[in-house]
Structure 1
């Protein structure tokens, strides 16, 4: 069973380490791997109140960050530790995030680094390509009105 638990400021370094490990291969393919820059970018936008640990059987296996932004929800980060990938955890997390967006009747948006496997993951789960930036592709999942 997958649950979420709250994050506190003291969790920052562990979250950064997980993020760097998860992104290293994709960033290296683009010639953009810089652990210092990755650390600074995440730390600058870190909001413990918007960040949740992903927990499986009492073990923290990843984290997710969802932020409100201009009438939508932004899936800002979703990382699963490599040892736990390929077990359906990310998909289960998306089901819960989709339910939150649907309850609010707002679309969900996500960005994925070019050449990252996460692009296929998001498309498989109903996100539709919207645009591309210099380093990322951006996807949206339309609002579902439950009323």
Structure 2
């Protein structure tokens, strides 16, 4: 099913519910499958377990375009920073500006709170280029993941 153009449809973030867990896992698996297959690490059972172990509906928001749920984002507050734990957009909506629009909203929240944002990305994933393009800087590289930070931009007074 094609995703409506976001030119005329606002992209909104809607709080998820505990009962949404299975749907969120399905979106995660759909969004990550290609990248994980590329590195020989696709395992739907493991993908489910890794997500459900830390699931907190209070930090999870669906990404909606024209009433369609096209992905989700999880942002958690840790000490003096925000962690972008998950940002998944269904393949049918990737490349349409949805992820960029969501990041713009998260940047506003982070900047208002004067907090940097950290994120991890699977090394072989196109998300690395996405985060760098949006101002994240590489701070660490581990066996399978790269870690980035985006410093807050203080509001002008």
Shorter chain as denominator, the TM-score bin is over 0.9
Give RMSD over aligned pairs: 0.9
Where do 1:86-125 residues align within 5 Å?
A: 86-125=95-134
Of 88, 94, 98, the match for 1:85: 94
Q: Does 1:61 align with 2:61?
A: no
Structure 1 CA distance, aligned partners of 2:34 and 2:86?
17
After TM superposition, what 4+ stretches of structure 1 lie above 6 angstroms from structure 2? none
What whole-Å deviation, never above 9, does each CA across 1:35-54 have from its counterpart, x for those lacking one?
Answer: 10110000001010000011
- Structure 1 gaps, min length 5: none
When normalised by structure 2's length, the TM-score is 0.91
Within a 5 Å distance, the mapping from 1:17-96 to structure 2 comes to 17-96=26-105
Aligned residues: 147
Which runs of no fewer than 5 residues in structure 2 stay unpaired?
1-9
Q: TM-score, normalised by structure 1?
A: 0.97
